[in-house]
Amino acid sequence: MNSFTRGVKDGVPIALGYLAVAVTLGIAAKNAGLSILQAVIASLSNNASAGEFVGFTLIAAHAPILELVLMEALTNARYMLMSTALSQKLTAKVSTAQRLMLGMCVTDEIFGISVAYGDELDPRYSYGAFAIACPAWALGTLIGAVLGSVLPLRAVSALSVGLYGMFIAIFIPPAKANPVVLGTVALSFALSWLFSAVPLLARLSTGLTTILLTVVISLLAAILFPVKEEAENG
């Protein structure tokens, strides 16, 4: 099985989760006044649930374009960190065009399975996962936009629980095998709760909170528990 085919296979569960979650996005897009075509294009070009929800909410509120651009940049900024992390797993022979394409393929879940791929990442693996996940995301948005308000929004929103469960399943195995990973996961849970419970910290946006916690926790883990590189042979 080549890397692309393996990526498609591993991307099937992600695609199923995306299909369910994106239905809610389609309804949100319709409520914001977007046409079915506009909603689908939004999902094809912005594969991020939080980013799209923020965008549709601001569109519905008739927010200025500058505010929309800034909020999208802030909400999706974590993908720059993920892309940077994945770039460390690529060999020098991977071209710039392939790296840019890989950056476009990065989502939370695809990043998770790509990180777990091995010591060196074959970008075709991520392409394969994206090739099946992205159309499912757009299809779910299409279904939601068509259904409109036929289904209760509360019932459709409940489908998003499946995506969280899938993402948890990605980091639980390495957390069980590595106490450092387990510690960083537990610390991230604790600090995330702290940021939502303390009034001053709760004022920060979700995107900014995610970026701050990712940078701080990753930096602490890198300083306190550096990964020892194997000496090169010869």
pLDDT tens profile 152-203: 667 656 655 655 666 677 678 888 888 988 999 899 999 989 988 998 888 8
| Claim to verify: residue 166 and residue 209 sit in the same structural domain | no
| Claim to verify: residue 198 and residue 144 sit in the same structural domain | no
Give the burial class of 167: count Cβ atoms within 10 A of its Cβ; 0-12 exposed, 13-18 middle, 19 or more buried.
middle
| Claim to verify: residue 152 and residue 182 sit in the same structural domain | no
Q: Are 148 and 158 in contact (CB under 8 A)?
A: no
Q: Degrees (nearest 5) of the Cα angle 213, 120, 188?
A: 15
| Claim to verify: residue 132 and residue 103 sit in the same structural domain | yes
Helix (H) or strand (E) holding 32: none
| CB count in 10 Å sphere of residue 162 | 16
pLDDT band at 127 (very low <50, low <70, confident <90, very high): very high
| Claim to verify: residue 154 and residue 46 sit in the same structural domain | yes
| Claim to verify: residue 93 and residue 204 sit in the same structural domain | no
| Claim to verify: residue 165 and residue 194 sit in the same structural domain | no
Of 140, 170, 200, the residue at which a domain comes to its end is 170
For 102-134, b/e burial (b = at least 16 CB within 10 A) is bbebbbbbbbbbbbebeeebbbbbbbbbbbbbb
| Claim to verify: residue 164 and residue 192 sit in the same structural domain | no
Domain of residue 196, residue span: 178-234
Question: Which pTM was predicted?
Answer: 0.69
| Claim to verify: residue 162 and residue 183 sit in the same structural domain | no
Of 122, 147, 170, the residue at which a domain comes to its end is 170
Give the burial class of 144: count Cβ atoms within 10 A of its Cβ; 0-12 exposed, 13-18 middle, 19 or more buried.
buried
pLDDT band at 39 (very low <50, low <70, confident <90, very high): very high
Please report, rounded to a whole number, the percentage of residues in the chain having pLDDT higher than 70.
87
User: What pLDDT was estimated at residue 29?
Assistant: 87
| Claim to verify: residue 137 and residue 182 sit in the same structural domain | no
Q: Are 36 and 146 in contact (CB under 8 A)?
A: yes
| Claim to verify: residue 166 and residue 189 sit in the same structural domain | no
Q: What is the pLDDT of residues 105-120, one digit of tens each?
A: 999 889 989 988 878 8
Q: How many domains does the chain have?
A: 2
Q: Are 42 and 144 in contact (CB under 8 A)?
A: no
